Amino acid sequence: MPRLVMKFGGTSVANVERIKNVAQHVKREVEAGYDVAVVVSAMSGKTNELVAWCKEAALAVSGDPVYDQAEYDTVVASGEQVTSGLLALLLNKMGIPARSWQGWQIPLYGDDAHGSARITGIDGAGILKGFAERKEVAVVAGFQGVHKETGRIVTLGRGGSDTSAVAIAAGLKADRCDIYTDVDGVYTTDPRIVAKAQRLDRVSFEEMLELASAGAKVLQVRSVEVAMVHNVRTFVRSSFDDPNNPKPGTLICGEEEIVESQVVTGIAYSKDEAQITLRNVPDKPGVAAAVFAPLADANVVVDMIVQNVSPDGKTTDITFTVPSADYARAMAVLAKEKETIGYPSIEGAQDVAKISAIGVGMRSHAGVAAKAFKALADRGINIRAITTSEIKFSVLIDQAYTELAVRTLHSLYGLDAA
Ligand code: ADP
Ligand code: ASP
Ligand code: MG
């Protein structure tokens, strides 16, 4: 029998009525002859609520917001337990054999980086037995797994159900992985902020990886990595399509399957970054290491880095960005290192946004980014930092101009729908 993995996100399972709609999509594929594993997220808003409860509980005892990450995982994994049980219950009522699987029951193993564990292995034997012996649909709680050595529940980072789905598709050697969400595919930019965004029929793994890491939340970055490494045929499609006549959505595939490509394929934005500037740092060998090594040791991922050429050869300014969530931690680390680094003053800004343009065509076209700098300047948008790579460039700007900047670049590269 051909195998299929279907994944449904939070909005698609937001209440019992929606879960019943999901069951109709599953029924269609079962009747088409597939052995099906369905991965579900928690109901939309549920994970945020659970995260907030952990913070509230920590603060209820002391003013310190730090808490045990293993217990955080126990709490936040519960949202997916509810939706997986409800979907299995509904399918059974509809006469389709089904059972729910929690991460630890499969088991889906993760490392012990609680809160953002990486998948280390999947044992699909139980699910395959259910297919073979009972034609049983496997309803998998996404986002969660178990750490083999400690037996503790782990979660895979926000948006992690996408990664559960693609990894299970790879583990079960499924023919396809369909990621159902609240939009009908991957667009040239977030269709919720640019009405003229266009749906793409195909996107290469590489471009999708860059789009996702630049902030396009439609797929978790790690899910794209897994799809690329294991060559999983992955589609992004809508759970709001008629269950009896759905559209195919967007295929994420190898570059060789893309027939024609634009210079720029898509624009992404991220408001989850913060900027830090160290002023008048001594301009001598070893300073960059003195700044960035302690941050790396504290697990703070630094993204954009700008170092000015020093006018007097003695001191210089270093600007860089860190995830907003790590901003306070990064500032604390740098405060501790003040003497060692030798900077007199530090500035931080959290009201910034990173806008990125992505396209494999950038490899062979010159001046792609230069065009953007001019267009942004014409609209009075100041650029605080720039980074470029082979198929992407990013600019850091004031957050208030996010939408304007995204629309400007979207039009500039000819991506607007007619
Ligand atoms: P789910 O709960 O199904 O996982 P998400 O909210 O995580 O859904 O992801 C879907 C959302 O991603 C869409 O509603 C859309 O606003 C956003 N998005 C951002 N960039 C893009 C893009 N380039 N194409 C499609 N959707 C995008
Ligand atoms: N429920 C989790 C989250 O909101 C995982 C997911 O939806 O993919 O992050
Ligand atoms: Mg998601």
Among 241, 259, 277, which residue terminates a domain? 259
- Looking at the CA of residue 12, tell me the nearest atom of ligand 1: 3
- Which among 7, 13, 38, 41 is the best mutation to test ligand 2's pocket, defined by most ligand atoms within 8 Å of the CB? 41
Domain count across the chain: 2
pLDDT at 62: 86
Last residue of a domain, one of 236, 259, 282: 259
DSSP string, 129-147: HHHHHH-PEEEEETTEEE-
Q: Could you tell me if 211 and 70 lie in one domain?
A: yes
**What is the CA(62)–ligand 3 centre distance, in A?**
33
Q: Give 246-282 as a DSSP string.
A: ----EEEE-GGG-----S--EEEEE--EEEEEEEEEE
Local structure of residue 382 (DSSP, 8 states): P
Query: Is 83's C-beta closer than 6 angstroms to any atom of ligand 1?
Result: no
Q: Report the atom number in ligand 2 closest to the C-alpha of 164.
A: 8
Question: Taking CB atoms and a 6 Å cutoff, what residues make up the pocket around ligand 2?
Answer: 9-10, 41-42, 47, 79, 142-143, 158-162
Which pLDDT does position 299 carry in this prediction? 85
Asked if 104 and 252 sit in the same domain, the reply is: yes
Whether residue 308 sits in one domain with residue 205:
no
pLDDT tier for residue 29 given thresholds of 50, 70 and 90: very high
Mean local confidence (pLDDT), 259-265: 85
For the domain that residue 113 is a member of, what is the CATH number?
3.40.1160.10
Question: In which band, very low, low, confident or very high, does the pLDDT at 59 lie, cut at 50, 70 and 90?
Answer: very high
Is the pLDDT at 65 greater than 80, yes or no?
A: no
Tens of pLDDT, residue by residue over 299-339, are 899 999 998 877 778 999 999 999 998 999 999 999 999 99
Mean pLDDT, residues 359-368? 91
269 pLDDT higher than 90 = yes
Residue 65: inside a domain: yes
What band does 87 get if pLDDT is binned at 50, 70 and 90?
A: very high
> What Å distances lie between residue 357 and 193, 209, 284, CA to CA?
16, 13, 34
Q: Which atom of ligand 2 is nearest to the CA of 42?
A: 1
236 and 219: one domain? yes
* Mean pLDDT, rounded, of the chain: 96
What confidence tier does 258 reach under pLDDT thresholds 50, 70, 90?
confident
Residue whose CA lies nearest to ligand 1 atom number 25: 186
Q: Which residue has the tokens 């037995």?
A: 129
The arithmetic mean of pLDDT across residues 244-268, rounded, is 92
Q: Which pLDDT value is given to residue 1?
A: 87
- What's the confidence (pLDDT) of residue 33? 97
Ligand 2 centroid–CA 322 distance in Å is 22
Q: Are residues 73 and 121 in the same domain?
A: yes
Domain check: are 386 and 310 in the same one? yes
Q: At 418, list the tokens.
A: 């007619």
Tens of pLDDT along 338-348? 999 999 999 99
Q: What is the model's pLDDT at position 165?
A: 98
Q: Nearest bound ligand to CA 218?
A: 1
The answer to the question of residue 216 being in a domain is yes
Q: Which atom of ligand 1 is nearest to the CA of 220?
A: 7
The answer to whether the CB of 159 is under 6 A from ligand 1 is yes
Mean pLDDT of the region 84-112: 98
Averaged over 353-381, what is the pLDDT?
Answer: 95
pLDDT of residue 177: 98
Please name the residue whose Cα sits nearest to atom 5 of ligand 1.
218
Residues 202-230 have pLDDT tens digits of 999 999 999 999 999 999 999 999 999 99
Does any domain span residue 286?
yes
Residue 260 clears pLDDT 80, i.e. is over it: no
Stretch 81-93: mean pLDDT: 98
Rounded Cα–Cα distance for residues 3 and 5 (Å): 7
Atom 9 of ligand 2, nearest CA residue: 158
Residues 238 and 354 in one domain: no
Q: Among 139-153, 283-297, 401-415, where is mean pLDDT lowest?
A: 283-297
Mean pLDDT (whole number) for 32-47:
98
**Residues 209, 381: Cα–Cα separation, whole Å:** 27
The model's pTM? 0.94
Q: Is 96 left (phi over 0), alpha (psi -120 to 50) or beta?
A: beta
**Residue minimizing CA distance to atom 4 of ligand 2:** 47
Q: Which domain holds residue 236?
A: 3-259
pLDDT computed for residue 344 by the predictor: 94
CATH code at position 362: 3.30.2130.10
- Is 417 a domain residue? no
Q: Is residue 349 part of a domain?
A: yes
pLDDT band at 259 (very low <50, low <70, confident <90, very high): confident
Listed range (61-70, 144-153, 245-254, 399-408) with the worst mean pLDDT: 61-70
Distance of alpha carbon 127 from alpha carbon 138, whole angstroms: 6
Regarding whether 201 and 272 lie in a shared domain, the answer is no
For residue 418, being part of any structural domain is answered with no
Q: Which of 227, 219, 79 lies closest to 155, judged by CA?
A: 79
- Greatest alpha-carbon pair distance for the chain in Å reads 78
Q: Are 274 and 184 found together in one domain?
A: no
| Structure confidence at residue 249 (pLDDT) | 97
Residue 214 lies in a domain: yes
Looking at residue 388, its pLDDT comes to 92
Does residue 186 fall inside a structural domain? Answer: yes
Same domain assignment for residues 342 and 372: yes
82 and 55 both lie in a single domain? yes
Q: What is the pLDDT of residue 247?
A: 95
- Rounded mean pLDDT, 264-272: 97
pLDDT band at 55 (very low <50, low <70, confident <90, very high): very high
64 band by pLDDT with thresholds 50, 70 and 90: confident
Last residue of a domain, one of 210, 227, 259: 259
Residues 15, 141, single domain; the answer is yes
